[in-house]
Amino acid sequence: MRNESRVYLGIGSFFVLILVIYFVWSRESTGSVLLLASAGLGLLPGLYIGWWSRRMQQRPEDVDEVAPRDITGVVGQFPENTIFPFTLGVGAWLVGLAFVFGLWFAIIGLGFVFGAAIGATLESKRASLSERENRV
């Protein structure tokens, strides 16, 4: 995990450097704010991942010489086919169109969005119940 955090930290620190030079030199606000946000975007996940990497065990993907072993984790946890992303997409699209064609689009769209949210949640619940260890 160490290198993952370094990717973010490297980019984030570079933005800090640029930000300081830019702000001191130009005093221009829009760009400085945007650079500040970018620096945060680099540093926050970088520090978070770095913080975790000290607390967790080495993952097999971070080890140079792993013995051939089972790939960890469950495959096929998510449903293979599901209609709900499509439903959610259509809902979001209709909400978007409401900004052009009027509010009533949003009402239909939100219906789709909530339908998708409920549907996908139930679907996940069903899927997790089909795992043996989750059954009571």
Partner 1 sequence: MTTLQEPLVQTAGVVEHERKAPGGFYKWITSVDHKVIGKNYMYTALTFMFIAGAMALLIRTQLFNPDGHVVSLQTYNELFTIHGSMMLYLFAGPFAFGGFANFIIPLQIGAPDMAFPRLNNLSYWLYLLGGVTMLFGFFTASGAAAFGWVAYAPLSSAPYSPGPGPDLWIVSIALVGFSGIFTAVNLVTTIFYLRAPGMTMFRMPLFSWSMLVTGILILIAFPVLTAALVLLYADRHYGAHFFSVAGGGVPVMWQNLFWFFGHPEVYILALPFFGIISELIPVFSRKPIFGYKGMVFATLAIAGLSTGVWAHHMFTTGTVLLPFFSALSLLIAVPTGIKVFTWIATMWGGQIRFNTSMLFAVGFIFAFVMGGITGVMLASPPIDFYTHDTYFVVAHFHQVLIGTTIFAGFAGIYYWYPKLTGRFLHEGLGKWNFWVTFIGFWITFMPQYLLGLRGMPRRIAIYSPTDGFTFLNRMSTVGSYMMGIGMFLFLLNFIISWRRPRPAGDNPWDGFTLEWATSSPPPAHNFHSLPAIRSARPTWDMNHPEHADAVPAVTGGDESAQ
Footprint of partner 1 (CB under 8 A):
1-4, 7-8, 10-11, 14-15, 18, 21-22, 25-26, 28, 30-31, 34-35, 37-38, 41-42, 49, 53, 58, 60-66, 68-76, 78-86, 88-90, 92-93, 96-97, 99-101, 120
User: What separation in angstroms does the CA of 112 have from each of 3, 102, 105, 121?
Assistant: 41, 17, 11, 14
Q: Are 99 and 81 in contact (CB under 8 A)?
A: no
Q: Which is nearer to partner 1, 117 or 136 (CB)?
A: 117
CB atoms inside a 10 Å sphere around CB 5: 19
Task: Give the nearest distance from C-beta 99 to partner 1 in angstroms.
Answer: 6
Task: Give the nearest distance from C-beta 63 to partner 1 in angstroms.
Answer: 5
Task: Give the nearest distance from C-beta 136 to partner 1 in angstroms.
Answer: 21
Q: If we measure between CA atoms, which residue out of 95, 96, 91, 8 comes closest to residue 46?
A: 8
